[in-house]
Structure 1
């Protein structure tokens, strides 16, 4: 297979930029176009809820590459113009400005969109956190308000609550899970995370959800709970999850099901690939379709997609990974933890707030977690690799 003459990457995100960089590293000398809905050059999202929101970083520091490095990439950046449609047979993307861009290969890297509560767009003081502009606007409001309610006790909500509390705000974290990040960590470790937040002054209201907002003169002043209780708030952050940004692909013929459905090679159709948070692909080792919302996976996936664009036939079957930083705690998770898994501390101790733990189902390791033990967690990750290898090698 000859290398395509033109690769169009839709989404100037970490995954989109990573794809362009991987193509160049693998020797591609053809034309690369980066189409982005935002007017900013590619930036990193994980720091938004931590370093940028806290003020430890100036917003510009989140930019992934300098202008000089991007120039050396020899890619055309078309920013501030969102994709609105894709014609699959001709691999042509139409944009909001009316442009039509055709290419020999198209990579969908449009990421996620934050879910919102009804009516929140009309109110001042209500925020989501997805873009750099979101982080700057939220920080400005946090500095001027004292009572903060975070709706949603997943990873993003927990991170925002921790950062807001470290800024000295009065913080309430409300969410349907029985403890912060229970769905990601399981009950035992999520209970430790709840203790961490409580110890640092965050008020937790687990097992409930925000049903609405109250306001006065166009500004939010509280959130409504199912029991009709109202929590007063000067600032509300809505962190109730995200959805893959695939609305622009409706009617394209691509299969959409909580993401762009791809095969094990991250290919959605002939000459069309998906990468990053928006991609749902077949994980051959796990035997299921998977979509991962994390920075590490997005970058690792780009190397596979780039290789396949250039004619390889590589599958993408990583050990899933994510991390989160909250207060003085760094949590790293490899694999797929679940609520019904058996959790065993294999190094350190929970009492010392430094430990590595293994998750197992039916005696088979499924995940490894490090709580302030990054090096040890990486080392224990090998048990997952070994387990996957045994699962994919036929017995004799």
Structure 2
């Protein structure tokens, strides 16, 4: 039986929002739980969109967080295909954008996620220009890749980040020709730095992907609404039947900004500023997932993390905080990727300039190794490539802040557990 005396509203129907709703019920909250999702699909997980589902290895239904019937069974008032266009903090209401309906809240969680950054060049209105963020995007792109592979077509990808590389791998698996345009000198430079980015460049080159580093797209050329080629600022023209814009994502902060909530500096990734309990500058409003910029004591900085594990863990943490539990959100950032025969997990945070050396344990040439980003003998981050069941000891090395012997760190015969 739902107790209508308290109402918790969640804006955002991704993994963070869905897991927050689940946690509220699991923790015994008996008030109204209202989950508002601007997509018509039930809440789903995003990793399969560029991995298993895109490759045709996973069924569409496998992406959903819960079975559709779960929401009614747990008295979750799910509003699909609805937007919220205003928060009135004084009245403690949110307004639906479609019909102006007002819903009052006692606690509000913003899990509005992020949206793909757009290419600001001529030709982006052509039919063959794509983004990958939503299930509908993946459904469309899946058909495009299959057609390109069947017809020996060309895909140009702007951006050599995780989405760009995962789609490149999927496209080559389908048989499409792939060119990746990246303004940096290596893939994944902002995450892995130059030392490890080349591992991924070589992997993709072995599978027939062409890279063009140090250049940017300047125009997408088309005819009769269809893509013909992509031009770069070095004067080259690359044949293309389709183009994927994979140049990152921007946090969806418009609702929070209009409500006067504190935002993080855009130069540092933006997002809604929250404290260690995931509370915003309004004590009755919380934020979690891609949109939240939270303080991380271990790294002595504010982080905004766009990966699956942050949504998986951040939504439940915010729910418990909304219930008044003592919460400190300090999870070590974690993400994973699968490309061809390479599987990888990464834990920690070590952007270029934050570390003084990279230590390799194993054989990087065979792509069976662990890389550690180290500063003054302390491990900031670790990446295991085709080496499994080591996430726990890697994260313990990071959280312990122990000064380690780097020779022992590089030695596969020395158990990682003995170094923390």
Quick check: TM above 0.5? yes
Deviates more, 1:271-280 or 1:208-217: 208-217
Preserved CA contact (<8 Å) 1:356 1:376: no
Structure 1 residue 389: Cα displacement: 12
**Once the two structures are superposed, what CA deviation does each residue of 1:47-103 show, in whole Å capped at 9, x if it has no partner?**
001112112223232122112333322200011011111112222111221222211
Structure 1 residue 337: Cα displacement: 2.4
Preserved CA contact (<8 Å) 1:280 1:289: yes
1:366 aligns with 2:368: no
SS in 2 for 1:343: strand
Q: Residue 40 of structure 2 aligns with which residue?
A: 39
Q: Residue 304 of structure 1 aligns with which residue?
A: 317
1:170 aligns with 2:184: no
| Residues 234-383 of structure 1 aligned to structure 2 (within 5 Å) | 234-257=241-264, 258-268=270-280, 269-340=282-353, 341=355, 342-346=357-361, 348-383=362-397
Preserved CA contact (<8 Å) 1:117 1:212: no
CA distance in 2, matches of 1:4, 1:326: 49
Q: Residue 57 of structure 1 aligns with which residue?
A: 58
* Count of aligned positions: 387
Structure 1 residue 220: Cα displacement: 1.5
Q: 1:204 to 1:121 in 2, by over 3 A?
A: closer
Structure 1 residue 170: Cα displacement: 0.4
Q: 1:132 to 1:187 in 2, by over 3 A?
A: same
Root-mean-square deviation over aligned CA pairs: 1.9
| Residues 79-94 of structure 1 aligned to structure 2 (within 5 Å) | 79-94=80-95
Unaligned 5+ runs, structure 2: 265-269, 405-420
Preserved CA contact (<8 Å) 1:151 1:210: yes
Q: 1:62 to 1:388 in 2, by over 3 A?
A: farther
Structure 1 residue 359: Cα displacement: 1.0
CA distance in 2, matches of 1:126, 1:171: 14
CA distance in 2, matches of 1:198, 1:4: 60
Preserved CA contact (<8 Å) 1:4 1:104: no
CA distance in 2, matches of 1:242, 1:251: 20
CA distance in 1, matches of 2:337, 2:130: 21
Q: 1:284 to 1:250 in 2, by over 3 A?
A: same
Deviates more, 1:352-361 or 1:34-43: 352-361
Structure 1 residue 177: Cα displacement: 2.1
CA distance in 2, matches of 1:12, 1:91: 20
Preserved CA contact (<8 Å) 1:84 1:249: no
Q: Residue 108 of structure 2 aligns with which residue?
A: 106
Preserved CA contact (<8 Å) 2:347 2:394: no
Q: Residue 217 of structure 2 aligns with which residue?
A: 210
SS in 2 for 1:374: coil
CA distance in 1, matches of 2:193, 2:29: 43
Preserved CA contact (<8 Å) 1:142 1:164: yes
Preserved CA contact (<8 Å) 2:377 2:403: no
SS in 2 for 1:334: strand
Deviates more, 1:111-120 or 1:191-200: 111-120
Q: 1:38 to 1:389 in 2, by over 3 A?
A: farther
Equivalent position to 1:194, from 198, 201, 214: 201
Structure 1 residue 290: Cα displacement: 1.0
CA distance in 2, matches of 1:248, 1:310: 23
Q: Residue 140 of structure 2 aligns with which residue?
A: 137
SS in 2 for 1:249: helix
- Using structure 2 for the length normalisation, give the TM-score: 0.88
- Using structure 1 for the length normalisation, give the TM-score: 0.93
Q: Residue 6 of structure 2 aligns with which residue?
A: 5
Deviates more, 1:222-231 or 1:269-278: 222-231
Preserved CA contact (<8 Å) 2:110 2:285: yes
1:127 aligns with 2:134: no
CA distance in 2, matches of 1:350, 1:264: 37
